[in-house]
Amino acid sequence: MKPAGAGRPRLSSRQMLQSAAEELFFEKGYAATTVDDITRRAGVGRSTFFNYFPAKSDLLWVELDAAIDRLADELAAVPPGAAPLAAVRDAALRVAADIGLNDVPLALTQDDVMGTREETRSSGLARLALRSDVIAGFLARQCGGRPDDLAVLAAANALSGAISAAWTAWAREGIGRGPLLDYMTAAIDIVSRGLEESLV
Amino acid sequence: MKPAGAGRPRLSSRQMLQSAAEELFFEKGYAATTVDDITRRAGVGRSTFFNYFPAKSDLLWVELDAAIDRLADELAAVPPGAAPLAAVRDAALRVAADIGLNDVPLALTQDDVMGTREETRSSGLARLALRSDVIAGFLARQCGGRPDDLAVLAAANALSGAISAAWTAWAREGIGRGPLLDYMTAAIDIVSRGLEESLV
DNA sequence: TCTAATAGTGAACTGAGTCCAATATTAGCA
DNA sequence: TGCTAATATTGGACTCAGTTCACTATTAGA
């Protein structure tokens, strides 16, 4: 097997690793694919892998990681004094609006990963925690509270949970899915308005 | 070093592993403690460890794991037709009421002492996901929807996030903390009633 | 006392992630 | 062009979590 991308205009090692991994995950599944497999197909040394990705599981979450970075940037740009909840919603929706219909994190399409694999599952949840932190930090800043205040934590976790729900439901819809933005709007609305109203 | 508990009335291997681990985590931190260290001090073979705990990180979450099991049992016993949100709240509060002031998961008190937070954190998030699943399953059952419906997912994630926030804020309060029940009541109230009202 | 189930065991194995010092590549500059 | 300093890539040795499996104790119960 030739290295992916051989002959074509030179791709970055990062790109080569990413596409080699994507191929292999489809061919053999995530669990059965080793880091060695990936680097061999990408045509780079094994050590190089860890220069670009701190863990194998990071390959599953490329799109989501980018979205979380975006969210942090958007929130950092919110002027002090703006209504905090509305600001989070708007930021999340702006980010969602830029996610293409095929920018689904591999983790959410790979059945092999969705199942029992505890380790990969928690890799996804690490993103949820990161996003919770980002939101909690922002809420604390806007409200003048501490980021580990119960109300701030609860609100941040709930919002982050809603955002996760949107990604999950969207990804599961399969090929015919509509824009992520629609899911995101609905999910954030549910927790913003209160579960009491939304559920029954 | 004698095995922990030598001479005293015979403890189960599980108990011995748990207390050996607790000691070692305090002495050297979580990351620096290997499974070998734990089994050596507990005086059992290495294989025995994995008979009792699927992963090293499970030792950090014993109390929380028990609470999630309890929650699942409580929800399973709810009669069909009961109001779903109220049922989840009541179940969570009943479980919280039985958590003693010192039943703090090791992970939550020790995460600074225990070295790198990332790994302990991601193991904690696995619990959050499990709890979300339990709640989503229950909501779907009561509402007659699918467990991967957006509204069900969003509500389940939000509730689970609120419950996590309660545990976290409670644990961080340190020795003088009040009962978990108080934190749980407040956190669930916040997401139930809607963030709009609760935040500003 | 016998027996069948259960608990505990060591040994060999896989694969992720770390560390490090050596080497290749590239960019910037004169 | 040639020199240099930064940066990228590399292999190899290492640690340790977690799996598998066949084997041996221990225990409970008839």
From chain A, pick out residues whose CB is under 8 angstroms from the CB of B158.
157-158, 161-162, 190-191, 195
Confidence category of residue A51, pLDDT binned at 50, 70, 90: very high
Q: Per-residue pLDDT averaged across B1-26, rounded? A: 72
CA distance A137 to B21: 33
- The pLDDT of residue B118: 57
Q: Per-residue pLDDT averaged across B51-76, rounded? A: 92
Instruction: Fill in the DSSP letter of residue B29.
Output: -
Tens digits of residue pLDDT in A126-156: 788 889 999 999 999 998 888 889 999 999 9
Residue among B9, B14, B52, B22 at smallest CA distance from B113: B22
Contacts of B191 (CB under 8 A, 6+ apart): A154, A155, A158, A191, A194, A195, B158, B159, B161, B162, B198
Q: Give, in order, the Cα–Cα distances in Å from B10 to each of B4, B5, B47.
A: 11, 7, 20
Residue among A68, A22, A82, A84 at smallest CA distance from A163: A68
Instruction: Fill in the DSSP letter of residue B54.
Output: S
Any strand D atom closer than 7 Å to B57 CB: yes
Q: Touching check for B81 and chain A: CB below 8 Å?
A: no
Largest CA distance in chain B: 59
Q: Touching check for A183 and chain B: CB below 8 Å?
A: yes
Contact criterion met (CB below 8 Å) for A179 and A185: no
Domains of chain A, each with CATH number or no CATH: 13-53 (1.10.10.60), 59-199 (1.10.357.10)
Q: Give, in order, the Cα–Cα distances in Å from A158 to each of A143, A183, B40, B145, B187.
A: 17, 16, 42, 21, 10
Tens digits of residue pLDDT in A26-48: 899 888 999 999 999 999 999 99
**Nearest CB to B168: which of A139, A153, A191?**
A153
Instruction: Fill in the DSSP letter of residue A2.
Output: P
Using C1' positions and the CA of A43, the closest nucleotide is D9
Q: Can you state the angle between helices B35-42 and B13-28, rounded to 10 degrees?
A: 120
Asked if pLDDT for residue A8 goes beyond 50, the answer is no
